[in-house]
Structure 1
Amino acid sequence: MSLQAQARSSYRALLRELPRRTLSNPTTPLHIRIRELYRNPVVRETMNTETLQSRIQEAHQFAQYARAQRKYLTLVERYNPGMRMDEQEKIRLTARRVGLDLPVEAKDQKE
């Protein structure tokens, strides 16, 4: 595989692992910076092939790390569903797990 193809592959891998862009802000500063690093011909011409190869490998490693972190967070959220719940919701779900329903509390009843 040529260096250009490897660089293109690492660039795409990095972009896949970055957070999704929104329609209101299609490019983030991080996307812009990564694009500049890959498009800048001055940097590529001043580096020898070994240095360029090591930079491409670093980019692949970073993409793998970002992918692993994303999967890790997905698994933590899946196996710890109460992690982001408030205390009342945890209590309600615990009661339902053993077959009980909590009584409905009256909120701000003014007579």
Structure 2
Amino acid sequence: MTSFKPLYEALQKELTTIHKKTFHVHAAKELERKKAVLQYKKIQLIKQRVPTTDLDKEIAEMNANSLEAPPLDTTTLRNLAEESTYTNEPLLKVKLQQLSNMSTFLRSQREYTELLERYNPGLTMDQEDKVRRTANRVGLSVPK
């Protein structure tokens, strides 16, 4: 029977890795959305012949800032750890097996996603990149 501490550490490691990756994906999408809104506002101000220095500064700040993933909240996992001090041996074995299964599942899902992205590079590309790469493949270039 495996002890609780290695299972807890493995599960926390997988959860932290997944948390960081999903945060960066969502943050990048949100950053693109905010940039698009600012570009739209900038175009509207240009049409009205109003100076756009404030928006230019804001766009430059967005490009310069790099976001760091917030720490993962592991209170639920800690609560589960505190509950794992059962005196009932069969129940403890079941809980440890469940933790082991969760850790294995999360690691397998992460590896599956990485392999899927590695062997199918166009899967996560947006439409613009697909068009540009397809045109490049046949010897053409997409105008800007």
Q: TM-score, normalised by structure 1?
A: 0.71
Distance change in 2, residues 1:48/1:103 (3 Å): closer
Q: In structure 2, what residue type is equivalent to 1:64?
A: T
User: Which residue of structure 1 aligns with residue 100 of structure 2?
Assistant: 60
CA distance in 1, matches of 2:69, 2:122: 32
Summarize the alignment of residues 21-100 of structure 1 with structure 2, pairs less than 5 Å apart: 25-28=70-73, 31-40=74-83, 44-45=85-86, 47-98=87-138, 100=139
**Structure with higher helix content:** 2
Distance change in 2, residues 1:103/1:58 (3 Å): closer
Q: In structure 2, what residue type is equivalent to 1:18?
A: L
Gaps of 5+ in 1: 106-111
Instruction: Determine helix, strand or coil for the equivalent of 2:141.
Output: coil
Q: Considering Cα pairs closer than 8 Å and 6+ residues apart, tell me whether 1 or 2 has the greater RCO.
A: 2
- Do residues 12 (structure 1) and 9 (structure 2) align? yes
| Deviation string, structure 1 residues 10-49 (Cα, Å, up to 9, x no partner) | 1111111103467663242xx1110121134xx624x401
CA distance in 2, matches of 1:74, 1:24: 20
For this pair of structures, how many residues does the alignment match?
96
CA distance in 1, matches of 2:96, 2:119: 35
Query: Offset of 1:58 from its aligned partner?
Result: 1.1
Distance change in 2, residues 1:85/1:6 (3 Å): same
Gaps of 5+ in 2: 21-67
Instruction: Determine helix, strand or coil for the equivalent of 1:44.
Output: coil
What is the RMSD of the two structures over their aligned residues, measured on CA atoms? 2.3
8 Å contact kept, 2:10–2:103:
yes
Q: Percent identity?
A: 32
Which stretches of structure 1, 4 residues or longer, exceed 6 Å deviation after superposition?
none
CA distance in 2, matches of 1:53, 1:27: 27
